[in-house]
């Protein structure tokens, strides 16, 4: 491993627990006014997206999906509607690691970017909305 933001010196890839720790530190850097609205969103680290998720999104390679928000975004929520499932953000370890190795980005920055992107979906932002926000700063 040649990237500088991994604490491992033995050449092995960061495991799920390490990615979870990176995500937890990244989460703490998100402004409190946003964190207050995602406090009940569960963040999970998975190796890859499952086959059904890939099929639903029309994605052929599991390496093409780094993260996913699953739930009802805040623009669609109503206190009158029951919420049968917990909102979740999935971070996919193997696709994240592949992207990290192939690009000039730290793993911490990549995980933070994907986490913020998925939190954006929780707020109901489209990919285009988030790209416009990222382009501004």
Nearest to 97 by CA among 16, 10, 7: 16
What stretches in the chain show pLDDT beneath 50?
Answer: 1-4, 6-8, 137
Strand arrangement, sheet containing 88-92: 42-46, 88-92, 67-70
Our count of domains for the chain comes to 1
Whether 20 maps to a domain, the answer reads yes
Question: What are the pLDDT digits (tens) for 4-31?
Answer: 454 445 668 899 999 999 999 988 887 7
Residue 53 is predicted with a pLDDT of 95
Whether 1 maps to a domain, the answer reads no
The CATH number of the domain holding residue 22 is 3.30.2010.20
Residue 93 is predicted with a pLDDT of 97
Whether 33 maps to a domain, the answer reads yes
């Amino acid at each position: 491993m040649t990237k500088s933001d991994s604490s491992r010196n033995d050449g092995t890839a960061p495991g799920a627990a390490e990615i979870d720790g990176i995500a937890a530190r990244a989460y703490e850097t998100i402004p409190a006014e946003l964190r207050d609205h995602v406090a009940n969103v569960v963040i999970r680290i998975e190796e890859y997206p499952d086959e059904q998720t890939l099929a639903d999104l029309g994605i052929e390679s599991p390496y093409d999906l780094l993260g996913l928000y699953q739930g009802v975004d805040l623009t669609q929520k109503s206190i009158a509607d029951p919420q049968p499932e917990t909102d979740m953000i999935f971070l996919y370890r193997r696709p994240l690691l592949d992207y990290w190795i192939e690009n000039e980005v730290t793993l911490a920055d990549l995980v933070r970017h994907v986490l913020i992107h998925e939190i954006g979906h929780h707020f109901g932002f489209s990919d285009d909305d988030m790209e416009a926000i990222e382009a501004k700063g």
